[in-house]
Structure 1
């Protein structure tokens, strides 16, 4: 009996279809673990640490102003990068962002003026602003979100907590101030290689899907039948397509709208470097925060949990990085703390706790996700209380308590809210996180300036009094941040009840106002056209 020949090309395509998704998931996970810390470490302004190494012809104030442009550039980039990943997908955006970071790192070795430092730091901010939504979109495009999503949330929380320490670590005993412009060039190269691999695998997967499409006579028959069906279904399909276009336009409008408070906060951040009054800085930061919370409270969200996710992003961005940055400075060896070498263990334990907490939260029933979001924010409040009770410390181990609470609480809040939101709401919420970080820095800086002014007006402004002023500023900032997070928890709960989106509506997969969502059936291919498997909300 003759056996028909097996088409080798077809077999190769089938092997690719099986293997490429697994490789994509591995690469996305590694890329997330490397790129998120790399993006967040671009935020801190560390030029003051190496001010003694600056050339005499470069004013330190001008250099600090130029070095601080990364965060304003980043928060302006995130909303437009979110639009780009929705239009062009994540892989090209990630490669572009890491290419910008790599070019800025290489050029950083040749910087010799404040204006060039400003240009390079803007490039750092743009590249970092592309990485944060790019990694999130890459994770949400994959079908194995139950693992990749907790990795993303845990790494973001750990990166926010340790960003200041990671930025300061390469500056220990350096001989050149230019290290601040290229703190981790090797890590940038590794991330760029991973992004290139992700782009190639993403393209291969697309080729495999196109090659596995039906061909020949069967294809012709299906096309003919499809043509007949299309004539019948044309009036029915036009409406959903028009609805999708309107939804896409509305999503872009919402993302662009978040750029308005971002632009205002960026102006404030640059303006405060020109000797603005501390009272003005505090008032401006508070107003910016009120505007962001107002946008979330009054905005419309198409997916379940979108509003809760936006609130969680604002709360986490406002308190985690600014509070951890001040704590890190207070624990340096020069101010009586254990130094960076003495606090690495709390940071490592906090990062591990964030990942484990996110993985556990992602395994809980979806009906508990909304409660876990608020529960995670409550743990963040507990971490802020621990900051007031335990900081400063001459030894590192006690810092495990506040660091673990902050990182684990933030990770649980983010991953729980992300489980209830689609990609559009996820990117919208992320567009509010970075402006909240900037608002947190402005608020903390304004409080610090106010208290240090009181110290300078005292009869004996000695070193101990100045350190006391820094400690009081940290404690006051933690108190204010904790109060805002409590307000966020209350607002999220009240508005969720108003929208009918908490409790049973979430567990049923209901939309924002509690109506039932119809999930389309999965496509025949292993992965959908957008990288999903057609899973329902309750399957996540």
Structure 2
């Protein structure tokens, strides 16, 4: 079962992350065909990210309640339907609606899959599973723009969405032999009021960054829902997030690291192919190819991670990885004024190598929670990453567009103005990543917790 679990984890990590990044290189083609400007274009990405991030805390609890097999089966079917609808969409709003459906499905798919780390694998297998998950996540993050460029240039941008379907089919075939039926004993239905409050808060706060004209009312509404959720969680007996998680400083620290890593990387990756096309003059394929170096660096560095964890511990390893990612972002900023791809290679390699060493964020966090909370914990961790991805696109987009607009008003050519905005985004991303490195060294050591699974007592085939 362990090998099949690893295959399902790899496929799930790759395809759900791919949908975050594959639209980047095809975005100019989508904009031309559907008549979208830069502001509207980001909603093709945010349409997926917002429901994904907003529903994850709720979805993880529902996966625990409904059982992993039915939740994953339904999520895969909805994800595939959304992919097919996206490829067939003939208008911007139909495309965004299809992306929203995929985001809703991914919100259930990811915590259901990540919970298999806790339920299907022993402690050593969890470390390997988390490494596989993070490696394929990072590979999709880096390869998505290149694959999107190839598909949009040679097959049409619709294939950016159709390419999801083989992954969905493979996972549906593997699911019955990987995920046992039934659900964990002792799980209860999550409270509806808490689900509504937290989802509304996350979606409104993230949307506020992407919609400058409505920023103040959206921020006010999102903050109000968030405060109401926190007050309810503190007073209610039936909490959405168990006290076993909110009282665990190791888990909360790992959640914070997920947020800062995603904020520092996701927005940069979304706008990189646009910069490569508009400033470097590359085509859709060439614009995404430099990011392949990130995936190569992730794969090359991943075998070194277990030894680093054994010698320095998971948190110091993560801190070093985040520091290397930050150094890579600064290296890109230093050469971004040069209209050529090759000076960017060292920075991209550093970002990939450093990202590989952030693997222990997930495995360490899941090691300190009880198995009955695996789905909820996985949902919260993924919510942190996806919320930071959406916030990263919105935040870096806001920085990029404001600096670009100021430079255009000053008479700077369009390509150079875009490059100036991208450099500002790189500096913001680097600052957030270095903050994550500082946080990692301050997270306390592992506390005693219910970390053993009944499956740990038998050999994993």
Task: Provide TM-score, normalisation by structure 2.
Answer: 0.77
Residue aligned with 2:90, SS: coil
Return the offset for 1:483.
1.8
The match for 2:79 is: 101
Which structure's CA Rg is the greater one?
A: 1
The match for 1:77 is: 55
Residue aligned with 2:413, SS: helix
Return the offset for 1:388.
0.7
**Which of 175, 184, 195 is matched with 1:199 structurally?**
175
Return the offset for 1:310.
0.8
1:264 matched to 2:204 = yes
Name the CA distance, whole Å, in 2 between partners of 1:101 and 1:41.
16
- Does the Cα contact within 8 Å between 1:163 and 1:321 map onto a contact in 2? no
After superposition, the CA RMSD in angstroms is 4.0
Task: Trace 1:74-473 onto structure 2 (pairs within 5 A).
Answer: 74-143=52-121, 144-172=125-153, 179-180=157-158, 182-185=159-162, 187-202=163-178, 259=199, 261-268=201-208, 271-272=211-212, 275=213, 301=246, 305-332=250-277, 334-342=278-286, 346-363=290-307, 364-365=309-310, 368-391=313-336, 394-422=339-367, 423=374, 424-458=376-410, 461=411, 465-473=413-421
Bigger relative contact order, structure 1 or 2 (CA pairs below 8 A, ≥6 apart) = 2
Query: After superposition, what is the alpha-carbon deviation per residue over 1:489-520, rounded to whole angstroms, capped at 9, x for unaligned?
Result: 334444x3xxxx23xxx3xxxx2xxxx44666
Return the offset for 1:24.
2.4
Name the CA distance, whole Å, in 1 between partners of 2:107 and 2:214.
27
Return the offset for 1:381.
0.8
Return the offset for 1:369.
0.7
Moved more, 156-165 or 479-488: 156-165
Query: After superposition, what is the alpha-carbon deviation per residue over 1:191-213, rounded to whole angstroms, capped at 9, x for unaligned?
Result: 2222222322036x669xxxxxx
Task: Go from structure 1 to structure 2 and tell me whether the alpha carbon gap of 1:256 and 1:367 turns closer, same or farther (over 3 Å shift).
Answer: farther
Query: After superposition, what is the alpha-carbon deviation per residue over 1:504-539, rounded to whole angstroms, capped at 9, x for unaligned?
Result: xx3xxxx2xxxx44666x75xxxx3xxx5479xxxx
- Does the Cα contact within 8 Å between 2:206 and 2:391 map onto a contact in 1? no
Task: Provide TM-score, normalisation by structure 1.
Answer: 0.67
Unaligned runs of at least 5 residues, structure 2: 235-242, 368-373
Name the CA distance, whole Å, in 2 between partners of 1:50 and 1:324.
18
Name the CA distance, whole Å, in 1 between partners of 2:351 and 2:194.
29
Task: Go from structure 1 to structure 2 and tell me whether the alpha carbon gap of 1:489 and 1:254 turns closer, same or farther (over 3 Å shift).
Answer: farther
Unaligned runs of at least 5 residues, structure 1: 1-20, 208-240, 536-540
The match for 2:432 is: 484
